């Protein structure tokens, strides 16, 4: 029986806790400027770290593909939804990363859920960093695998768990390269050596590293050295588009094509999105974008140092996700509202998304932000 009261009670409860969420409608005006109910806001909360979603060449490639091929891929990949564009993109990703193969997914969320479900079963033991993304947790739950979490970025905590479970035959270590809520980087070299020592499969989610770090924007892992068994990235952050990829061996690709449910049973990404991704990928390795990356990282350094000088406590990192720790939920919410009134869009992140007592403002920078906008923000912080 449909019980409306149950849902109304839930809504009341989250409202009482000040946790009620709504998708506010922001109108885009230009660059990082948005407007909300006639108020102009500088957006410090997007994931388009290089502003690629506005690059005219990317937009042009997308609209050209849409004009000539239509708005849909009209079927899932294994039925008849694989166009030459999809094949080209998988080859281009593999070439860019120096991987044997790549496989493209409709989103990072679908990729994590489907890949982990296909990789693990009840005989698998998964060791995941305490702060991994919700899609990784959902993938683990769907797989039915046993599951241990190690303290965030704490190699000795992971080492102890691996030692304890060394007799389990099938082990998977999962981490992000750059964490989505804290913006700090994982100890990748240590993860690689532990995975080798304990013969565990290493699975890294590079959603926030790709495009921002490394030569040609290859991310903090650099070119694929086969040290990482599966490296996942998304087109939805620095690439300014939509979709995801995983860099893997040939055997794994064939395995996933035959087992990965979120890949098999979903309509392929439309040609306009694939063409945008191909163009972004081509541009990512250009001198122009190398310069944008450098300038973005310089702005990040400047903003981080300036906030520290103002005695704010930050989570250490180098990249465009800057977590300013406030502590209490109320404090973070008030600060976010105060900045909103002054024209800055910066969300407060509170439990259950982050642990109690670590409520924060999650600020993200893009190469589109000017120093003037950064100075304005600092003046009001
Ligand atoms: N992994 C991580 C680490 C993420 O932060 C996100 C998005 N926030 C995803 C996966 C999901 O990616 P997408 O938005 O492409 O579904």
Q: How far is the CA of 177 from the centre of ligand 1 (A)?
A: 12
pLDDT at position 23 is 86
Residue 257 or 39, more confident: 257
Residue 222 or 107, more confident: 107
pLDDT at position 29 is 67
- The structural domains of the chain, ordered by start, are 4-49+290-379 (3.90.1150.10), 55-285 (3.40.640.10)
Q: What is the mean pLDDT of residues 360-365?
A: 96
Nearest to 49 by CA among 188, 282, 185, 234: 234
Residue 358: half-sphere exposure toward Cβ, Cα within 13 Å: 11
Name, in order, each residue with C-beta under 8 angstroms of 176's C-beta and a sequence gap of 6 or more.
Answer: 129, 131, 132, 133, 186, 204, 205, 206, 207, 208, 209
| Ramachandran angles phi, psi of 226, nearest 5° | 65, 10
pLDDT exceeds 90 at position 318: yes
Supply the residue whose CA is at minimum distance from atom 5 of ligand 1. Answer: 180
pLDDT exceeds 70 at position 252: yes
Query: Which atom from ligand 1 is nearest to the alpha carbon of 244?
Result: 15
pLDDT exceeds 90 at position 27: no
What percentage of residues in the chain have a pLDDT greater than 90? 91
Q: Which of 171, 237, 292, 335 is catalytic?
A: 237
Query: Which atom from ligand 1 is nearest to the alpha carbon of 135?
Result: 10
Nearest to 173 by CA among 151, 189, 195: 195
Supply the residue whose CA is at minimum distance from atom 15 of ligand 1. Answer: 108
Strand order in the sheet with 348-349: 313-314, 321-327, 359-364, 348-349
pLDDT in tens, 118-150: 999 999 999 999 999 999 999 999 999 999 999
> Strand pairing partners for 34?
28, 41
Q: Which of 55, 90, 129, 176 is catalytic?
A: 176
Q: Which of 133, 279, 335, 369 is catalytic?
A: 133
What percentage of residues in the chain have a pLDDT greater than 70? 100
Q: Are 303 and 374 in contact (CB under 8 A)?
A: yes
Query: Which atom from ligand 1 is nearest to the alpha carbon of 235?
Result: 15
Q: Is the pTM of this model over 0.90?
A: yes
Supply the residue whose CA is at minimum distance from atom 8 of ligand 1. Answer: 180
Nearest to 274 by CA among 95, 58, 3: 58
Query: Which atom from ligand 1 is nearest to the alpha carbon of 180?
Result: 5
Structure ipTM over 0.95, yes or no: yes
Q: How far is the CA of 285 from the centre of ligand 1 (A)?
A: 22
Q: Ligand 1 pocket: which of 109, 220, 230, 232 to mutate (most atoms <8 Å of CB)?
A: 109
Residues flanking ligand 1, CB < 6 Å: 107-109, 112, 133, 135, 176, 180, 205, 207, 234, 236, 244
Among this protein's residues, is 47 annotated catalytic?
yes
Q: Which of 46, 180, 277, 367 is catalytic?
A: 180
């Amino acid at each position: 029986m449909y019980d409306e009261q149950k849902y109304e009670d839930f809504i009341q409860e989250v409202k009482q806790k000040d946790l009620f969420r709504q998708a506010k409608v922001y109108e885009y005006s230009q660059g990082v400027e948005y407007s909300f109910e006639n108020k102009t806001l500088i957006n410090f909360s997007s994931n388009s770290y290089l502003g690629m979603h506005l690059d005219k060449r990317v937009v042009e490639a997308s609209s050209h593909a849409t004009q000539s091929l239509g708005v849909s891929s009209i079927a899932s990949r294994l039925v008849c939804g694989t166009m030459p564009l999809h094949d080209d993109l998988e080859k281009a990703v593999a070439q860019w990363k120096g991987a044997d193969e790549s496989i493209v997914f409709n989103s990072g969320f679908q990729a994590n859920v489907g890949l982990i479900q296909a990789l693990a079963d009840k005989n698998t033991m998964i060791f995941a960093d305490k702060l991994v993304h919700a899609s990784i947790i959902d993938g683990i739950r769907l797989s039915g695998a046993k599951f241990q979490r190690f303290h965030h970025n704490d190699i000795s905590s992971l080492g102890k768990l691996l030692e304890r479970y060394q007799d389990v035959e099938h082990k998977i270590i999962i981490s992000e390269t750059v964490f989505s809520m804290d913006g700090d980087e994982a100890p990748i070299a240590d993860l690689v050596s532990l995975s080798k020592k304990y013969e565990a499969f290493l699975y890294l989610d590079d959603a926030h590293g790709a495009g921002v770090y490394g030569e040609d924007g290859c991310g903090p892992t650099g070119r694929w050295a086969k040290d990482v068994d599966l490296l996942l990235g998304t087109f939805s952050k620095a690439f300014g588009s939509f979709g995801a990829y995983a860099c893997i061996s040939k055997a794994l690709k064939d395995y996933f094509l035959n087992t990965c449910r979120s890949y098999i049973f979903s309509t392929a990404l439309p040609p306009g999105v694939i063409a945008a991704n191909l163009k972004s990928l081509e541009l990512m390795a250009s001198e122009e974008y190398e310069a944008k990356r450098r300038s973005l990282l310089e702005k990040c350094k400047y903003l981080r140092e300036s906030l520290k000088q103002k005695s704010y406590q930050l989570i250490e990192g180098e990249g465009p996700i800057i977590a300013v720790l406030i502590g209490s939920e109320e404090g973070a919410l008030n600060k976010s509202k105060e900045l909103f009134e002054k024209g800055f869009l910066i969300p407060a992140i509170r439990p259950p998304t982050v642990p109690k007592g670590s409520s924060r403002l999650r600020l993200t920078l893009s190469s589109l932000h000017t120093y003037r906008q950064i100075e304005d923000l600092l003046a009001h912080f």
